Amino acid sequence: MTGTQTEDFTDAVALVHQHMRTATTGWSIGSFGVIAEFHRDADEVAEVVLRDTGGTVVTGKGAIRIDLKEDATVFPYETPSRNRNRWNQGVNICLPDDEAGHMAGRVGLTEIGPDNDAVRKEDRGAVLFDLGLRLPHVDACVRTRDPDLIKTLRAHGGADMLSFEGPAMTAVIAKSPHRVFLSRLGRVEVYQYIPSQANGLPTPHGPHTHLLPRLAAHQRTHAANVPLPEGWLPCLSMYPANPLSDGLGNTRPFDPDAHDAFQDIVLRFAHADYLHLKRRVIEAVGQGRMINMTDMDRPHRALVRACLRQLRYADWRVSTEEC
């Protein structure tokens, strides 16, 4: 971002407001292997309320509340997809990696108490339990009024919730309580069931959560491919429409409007080194030169590969071998 802090904050709020009104934009709060996602369909009934620092979106399947802070900073990113003809894109809204961005960081299952800040009035007062995954920037919680589940969770306080064989996590998977993921920039609430291969329950369409112990064990705040300057924590993520895939991840014909819309976000919010690298790639391709990635770190190499894939859809000839 290039303006004053006040100008940057105003622009960040405007960006968030635009995409809270846009059904094709998805959201998440989480970390590598632990994530709560909020999605909605264009024809789905949704209550959208905008406020000075963000607002709320509520559907019958989940909700999101956004409350930006003055020092929130926007970092767009583009990375190569596993599909060699596509790329991923998103926006991380971050806070400094200090007290401003840190959450409780609890270790082991911990009862927090009544959730008086629930987005919907009818959910306020239900009991909130932190799964205690020791994440610096996210409190991954469940919320319930079920007396049997409350009793079980209280009986196993301090349990390691990355162990799916333990009685506490077994009960959570069986009961599918609301999941509530909290950060300093808001919360995502998921009302749908918990997906489980063991129980034959696929990931539901719309809001859902993932807890993948093997990935979560790395204690990473974000995927290694995603460029994020040191000293920042991704406290809220946004996923504008991808020009080559729909909301379910299925391939679709290239949508130039969706591509241009995201490039506008990149031009407005990406930091100077990010924009400089993209320009280097475009210039090299235009001049028929090779791109030397020998001294680049992983996030920068990922950006180069994503950019090369994008140029296939412009007036350039780009060899698939380069991606």
CA distance 53 to 65: 10
163 and 291 fall within a common domain:
no
Burial 264-293 (b: 16+ CB within 10 A, else e): ebbeebbeeebeebbeebbebbeeeeebee
In order, the DSSP letters of 9-76 are: HHHHHHHHHHHHS-TT-EEEEEETTEEEEE---TTS--EEEEETTEEEEE-SSEEEEEE--TT-EEEE
- Per-residue pLDDT reduced to its tens digit, 105-115: 999 999 999 99
- Contact in structure between 207 and 39 (CB atoms under 8 Å): yes
CA distance 58 to 63: 4
233 and 291 fall within a common domain:
no
- Contact in structure between 308 and 281 (CB atoms under 8 Å): yes
> Residue 317: what pLDDT?
41
Alpha carbon 121 to chain centroid, angstroms: 25
228 and 197 fall within a common domain:
yes
237 and 321 fall within a common domain:
no
Tokens at 306, concatenated: 């994503």
> Residue 5: what pLDDT?
66
227 and 102 fall within a common domain:
yes
Out of 246, 270, 294, pick the residue that ends a domain.
Answer: 270
> Residue 321: what pLDDT?
46
DSSP classification of residue 195 = P
Number of Cβ within 10 Å of residue 245's Cβ equals 18
Closest of 229, 223, 222 to residue 274, by C-alpha: 229
Provide the domain count of the chain: 2
62 and 204 fall within a common domain:
yes
DSSP classification of residue 243 = T
Alpha carbon 173 to chain centroid, angstroms: 22
CA distance 309 to 19: 25
146 and 194 fall within a common domain:
yes
> Residue 244: what pLDDT?
95
SS3 content of the chain, % helix, strand, coil (to 5): 25, 30, 45
6 and 62 fall within a common domain:
yes
- Per-residue pLDDT reduced to its tens digit, 116-144: 999 999 999 999 999 999 999 999 999 99
263 and 290 fall within a common domain:
no
CA distance 67 to 185: 5
Domain of 306 in residue numbering reads as 271-323
Q: Is 74 exposed, middle or buried (0-12, 13-18, 19+ CB in 10 A)?
A: buried
- Residue ranges of the chain with per-residue pLDDT less than 50: 316-323
286 and 253 fall within a common domain:
no
Phi then psi for residue 208, to 5 deg, are -160, 170
Longest dimension (CA), the chain: 68
276 and 265 fall within a common domain:
no
- DSSP-based three-state secondary structure for 139: strand
Partners of 31 in beta bridges: 34
Q: Could you tell me how many helices (H) and strands (E) the chain has, helices first?
A: 7, 14
Number of Cβ within 10 Å of residue 178's Cβ equals 22
Whether the CA torsion 165, 166, 169, 172 is positive or negative: it is positive
| Helix 256-269 vs helix 5-20: crossing angle, to nearest 10 | 160
Out of 253, 270, 287, pick the residue that ends a domain.
Answer: 270
263 and 276 fall within a common domain:
no
CA distance 40 to 249: 14
Phi then psi for residue 304, to 5 deg, are -60, -45
Q: Which amino acid is at 197?
A: Q
Whole-model pTM: value is 0.92
